[in-house]
Amino acid sequence: MLVDQRSGARKIVRSKAVVVMDGMPPMQGRTLDINGSGLSLTFDHKLATGDVGMVSFELFVEGKAQVLSCRSRVNYCIFSGDHFKIGFQFMNPDMATMATINKFLR
């Protein structure tokens, strides 16, 4: 049985994402949802729980697109249909990134 490891309210967000895991080339994904501590996305490649890298994604805040990047850790990776659903936990996001995410979540 899977345990939902997410905490806090989540908000749906659909945008392009670029994932650069340590030691790997950039790969494309699509965001699914976000909260103050992380986000989930769909991805063509399997990643291992605990893998670390940079996740960049776009949020529309106050009518403007903003690209955010944050070092993140893989919390879970689930095969779903023809892709993987991956949950990332943000690792020490900077103040500006958190302010933008919090504005989006309001």
pLDDT digits (tens, 9 = 90+) for 16-64: 999 999 999 999 999 999 999 999 999 999 999 999 999 999 999 999 9
The answer to whether residues 20 and 35 touch, using CB atoms and an 8 Å cutoff, is no
The reported pTM is 0.88
d(CA 30, CA 103): 21
Structurally, at CATH architecture level, domain 11-98 sits in Beta Barrel (2.40)
CA-angle at 79, arms to 18 and 68, nearest 5°: 20
